[in-house]
């Protein structure tokens, strides 16, 4: 149902998105049958394609030319894919979107080379755009994404971290790449700098909201809906917003503390998931997500009304209410 | 340039590379970036040989070394073991170094080199992945894949700046260094993907040590010939022979054979 909703939201740019999908397949084509299979495996696992969608929509605020836009939209998705395949090694994840991860299907080394290959393809592809500024923005974002992940590992199992640490982390981990997708889409289409700045901020706020919802869903969705065990974030030591909100209750704090860095049984995992799900933490986290959503919508309000801004608005609402 | 000056030029580039990729957490929990002096030597060879050189070229050489460090970090990720903090950060170290090289070249506005390096990384990754497929390859082909991976990134650098003349020598010498390291690993009872591949590709009875010793001899002869034919100055030739590829294995082999 949710996927159908998303498809409807994308209907204005469907032909272009279909083209991007084909380009993605071509981009991961490799002389190595193993890399070919691993990359296609990852690609065909699906995904929301939020980044290329925002590149294309942002491009509608300038001189939109799909042949130019795809040169940014495709690599942005590839960069995201490369980070996912490496993340699965970091998190030792067996499943992604209900399918075995590359590291589970093959092994860690194949996952590493697949990620390196996909990232290199992205850079090979995007260097067709000869604007150094674009590359400076993107490379800075890539470094910040890594810094965010490094900090995430440093902060693992730290139940007493503060909200600011969490927000800074998700900014780097998720929001910046979505923000850059919007900004680069605008810049490459020749939109004016003020428009590009509004779109960059829109992407940033949406990215923050998106990640918070993702973190909420990790507790509120079922294993089947998630395609992985619910509560995986906590099990891996990642203290997300619902946990940070829930720990204010002393009894929950004790429960969480007693289960940190421990091989949890399924029963213990589900107890934690249920406890957080039934606490006020979910509502509290949702409110913070909504604040970011409001800010994103405010940025959109500064832009000329168009079918692109309307679609962006709808996507923003979808992100705030999504269930997968 | 005398031996001391060559050493200090390499050291200075090494320090620059390490500075560029410095990151507190990575430094604390990983083995740190692998910056091999032999590779730095070959990146600097056109300069040492008196070819046209500039700060930009040196900066590009630095980025090539960073790409090697990125790929090396990912080679260190172990098979099928639970993700330790060190392992997790090693994955991120490789990604972080990749971001740094991209940023450096973007700031230099050298987009062509980004493309060349990306293409080289694709080829290297494809070859490394091929080490994991089930295809049986003859030893000659495995050897060629290994040697190509040693030179690919430096070759991209040479091609970009028109330093093609050094490719053959760099390939032979860096392959020599690679196989020498593999031999050392074998003698110490270690294991590596390359040793596994050699074992798999050599005909029964597989004797990787004998193959490595023979290969080192062949490569050393090749190196001698290439150096003899090149117009390097005496100090540079001497440095290459005695500091990059000192050949001890022939003597060892003779001793072994009685």
pLDDT grade, residue B258 (50/70/90)? Answer: very low
Tokens 């034919």 correspond to B229
**Interchain contact, B125 vs A83, CB within 8 Å:** no
Residue A23 placed within a domain: yes
Averaged pLDDT for residues B133-161 = 94
Q: How far apart are CA B180 and CA A168, in angstroms?
A: 46
pLDDT, tens digit, 9 for 90 and up, residues B32-85: 999 999 999 999 999 999 999 999 999 999 999 999 999 999 999 987 566 689
| Residue B253, pLDDT above cutoff 70 | no
Q: Does A31 touch chain B (CB under 8 A)?
A: yes
| A 34-93 residues inside an 8 A Cβ radius of B | 34-35, 38, 83, 86, 89-92
Q: Which pLDDT tens digits describe chain A residue by residue (324 residues)?
A: 567 778 888 988 999 999 999 999 999 999 999 999 999 999 998 788 999 999 999 999 999 999 999 999 999 999 999 999 999 999 888 888 888 999 999 999 999 999 999 999 999 999 999 999 999 999 999 999 999 999 999 999 999 999 999 999 999 999 999 999 999 999 999 999 999 999 999 999 999 999 999 999 999 998 888 888 899 999 989 999 999 999 999 999 999 999 988 888 999 999 999 999 999 999 999 999 999 999 999 999 999 999 999 999 999 999 877 766
Nearest chain B Cα distance for residue A32, angstroms: 5
Structure tokens at B98: 């990749």
| Residue B124, pLDDT above cutoff 80 | yes
Q: Does A132 touch chain B (CB under 8 A)?
A: yes
Residue A2 placed within a domain: no
| Residue B252, pLDDT above cutoff 60 | no
CATH number of domain containing A241: 1.10.600.10
Residue A5 placed within a domain: no
Residue A230 placed within a domain: yes
Using a CB-CB distance cutoff of 8 angstroms, which residues of chain A are in contact with residue B125? 32, 35, 113-114, 116-117, 120
Residue A319: CB partners within 8 Å, gap ≥ 6? Answer: A206, A209, A210, A213, A293
| CB of A286 closer than 8 Å to CB of A35 | no
**Interchain contact, A30 vs B126, CB within 8 Å:** yes
Task: Indicate the CATH number of B3-257 among 1.10.10.10, 3.40.190.120, 1.10.600.10, 1.10.150.170.
Answer: 1.10.600.10
Least confident of A1-5, A119-123, B123-127, B144-148: A1-5
Per-residue model confidence (pLDDT) at position A223: 87
ipTM reported for the complex, 2 dp: 0.94
**Interchain contact, A139 vs B103, CB within 8 Å:** yes
Who wins on pLDDT, A322 or B172?
B172
Q: How far apart are CA B100 and CA B96, in angstroms?
A: 6
Residue A6 placed within a domain: no
Q: 3-class SS at A87? A: helix
Q: How far apart are CA A176 and CA A38, in angstroms?
A: 27
Pick from B10, B66, B11, B73: which is nearest to B42 by CA? Answer: B10
| CB of A173 closer than 8 Å to CB of A207 | no
CB atoms within 10 A of CB A183: 29
| CB of B96 closer than 8 Å to CB of A146 | yes
Q: How far apart are CA A284 and CA A262, in angstroms?
A: 27
Q: How far apart are CA A262 and CA A265, in angstroms?
A: 9
Nearest chain A Cα distance for residue B197, angstroms: 15
| CB of A297 closer than 8 Å to CB of A316 | yes
pLDDT, tens digit, 9 for 90 and up, residues B182-218: 999 999 999 898 998 998 888 777 789 999 999 999 9
Q: 3-class SS at A96? A: strand
| A 94-113 residues inside an 8 A Cβ radius of B | 106-110, 112-113
State the Cα angle at B48 between B43 and B54, rounded to 5°.
70
pLDDT grade, residue B254 (50/70/90)? Answer: very low
| CB of A154 closer than 8 Å to CB of A195 | no
| A 184-203 residues inside an 8 A Cβ radius of B | none
Structure tokens at A49: 């394609």
| CB of B111 closer than 8 Å to CB of B41 | no
The count of structural domains within chain A is 1
Per-residue model confidence (pLDDT) at position B164: 96
| Most A-contacting residue of B27, B71, B99, B110 (CB-CB within 10 A), to test interface | B99
State the Cα angle at A69 between A68 and A72, rounded to 5°.
105
**Alpha carbon of A99 to those of A178, A226, B217: distances in Å?**
24, 11, 49
Q: What does the buried/exposed string (b/e) look like for A222-260 if buried means 16 or more CB atoms within 10 Å of the residue's CB?
A: ebeebebbbbbbbbebbbbbbbbbbbeeeebeebbeebe
Nearest chain A Cα distance for residue B32, angstroms: 14
Q: Which residues pair with residue A99 across a beta bridge? A: A96
Note the Cα B5 to chain centre separation in Å.
Answer: 22
Residue A117 placed within a domain: yes
| CB of A11 closer than 8 Å to CB of A58 | no
Using a CB-CB distance cutoff of 8 angstroms, which residues of chain B are in contact with residue A100? none
Using a CB-CB distance cutoff of 8 angstroms, which residues of chain B are in contact with residue A120? 118-119, 121-122, 125
**Interchain contact, B107 vs A136, CB within 8 Å:** yes
Of A108, A112, A140, the CB nearest to B80: A108
Q: How far apart are CA A55 and CA A79, in angstroms?
A: 14
| CB of A283 closer than 8 Å to CB of A220 | no
Using a CB-CB distance cutoff of 8 angstroms, which residues of chain B are in contact with residue A83? 95
**Interchain contact, A32 vs B133, CB within 8 Å:** yes
Domain range list for chain B:
3-257
Query: Domain of A179?
Result: 15-321
Chains A, B: CB contacts within 8 A come to 151
Of A91, A117, A146, the CB nearest to B83: A91
Nearest chain A Cα distance for residue B133, angstroms: 7
């Amino acid at each position: 149902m949710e996927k159908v909703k998303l498809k409807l939201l994308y209907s204005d740019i469907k032909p272009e998105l279909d083209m991007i999908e084909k380009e993605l397949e071509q981009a991961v084509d490799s002389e190595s049958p193993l890399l070919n299979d691993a990359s296609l495996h990852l690609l065909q696992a699906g995904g929301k394609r939020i980044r290329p969608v925002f590149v294309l929509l942002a491009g509608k605020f300038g001189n939109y030319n799909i042949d130019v836009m795809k040169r940014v939209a495709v690599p942005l998705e590839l960069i995201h894919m490369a980070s996912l395949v490496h993340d699965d090694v970091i998190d030792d994840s067996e499943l992604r979107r209900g399918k075995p991860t590359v590291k589970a299907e093959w092994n860690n080394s194949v996952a590493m080379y697949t990620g390196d290959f996909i990232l290199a393809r992205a850079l090979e592809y995007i260097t067709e755009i000869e604007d150094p500024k674009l590359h400076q923005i993107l490379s800075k974002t890539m470094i910040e994404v890594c810094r965010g992940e490094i900090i995430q590992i440093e902060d693992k199992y730290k139940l007493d971290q503060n909200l600011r640490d969490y927000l800074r982390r998700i900014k780097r981990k998720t929001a910046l790449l979505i923000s850059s997708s919007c900004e680069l889409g605008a810049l490459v289409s020749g939109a004016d700098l003020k428009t590009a700045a509004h779109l960059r901020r829109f992407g940033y706020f949406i990215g923050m909201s998106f990640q918070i919802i993702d973190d909420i869903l990790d507790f509120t969705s079922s294993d089947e809906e998630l395609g992985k065990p619910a509560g995986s974030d906590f099990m891996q030591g990642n203290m997300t917003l619902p946990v940070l909100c829930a720990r204010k209750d002393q009894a929950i704090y004790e429960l969480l503390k007693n289960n940190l860095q421990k091989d949890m049984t399924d029963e213990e995992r589900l107890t934690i998931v249920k406890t957080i799900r039934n606490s006020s933490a979910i509502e509290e986290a949702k409110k913070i997500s909504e604040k970011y959503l409001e800010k994103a919508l405010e940025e959109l309000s500064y832009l000329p009304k168009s079918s692109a801004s309307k679609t962006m608005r709808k996507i923003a609402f979808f992100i705030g209410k999504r269930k997968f | 340039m005398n031996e001391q000056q060559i050493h200090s030029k390499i050291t200075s580039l090494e320090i620059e590379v390490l500075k560029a990729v410095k990151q507190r957490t990575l430094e604390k929990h990983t083995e740190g970036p692998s910056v091999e002096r032999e590779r730095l030597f070959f990146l600097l060879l056109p300069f040492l040989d008196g070819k046209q050189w500039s700060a930009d070229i040196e900066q590009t050489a630095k980025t090539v070394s960073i790409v090697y460090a990125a790929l090396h970090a990912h080679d260190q990720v172990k098979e099928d073991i639970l993700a330790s903090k060190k392992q997790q950060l090693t994955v991120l170290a490789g990604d972080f170094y990749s971001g740094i090289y991209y940023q450096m070249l973007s700031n230099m506005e050298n987009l062509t080199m980004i493309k060349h390096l990306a293409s080289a990384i694709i080829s290297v990754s494809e070859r490394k992945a091929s080490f994991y497929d089930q295809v049986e390859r003859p030893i000659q082909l495995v050897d060629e894949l290994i040697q190509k991976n040693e030179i690919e990134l430096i070759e991209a650098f040479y091609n970009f700046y028109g330093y093609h003349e050094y490719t053959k020598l760099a390939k032979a010498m860096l392959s020599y260094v690679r196989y020498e390291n593999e031999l050392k690993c074998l003698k110490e009872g270690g294991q590596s993907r390359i040793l596994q591949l050699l074992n798999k590709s050599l005909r029964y009875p597989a004797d990787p040590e004998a193959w490595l010793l023979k290969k080192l001899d062949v490569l050393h002869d090749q190196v001698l010939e290439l150096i003899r034919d090149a117009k390097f100055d005496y100090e540079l030739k001497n440095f290459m022979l005695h500091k990059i590829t000192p050949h001890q294995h022939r003597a060892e082999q003779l001793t072994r054979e009685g």
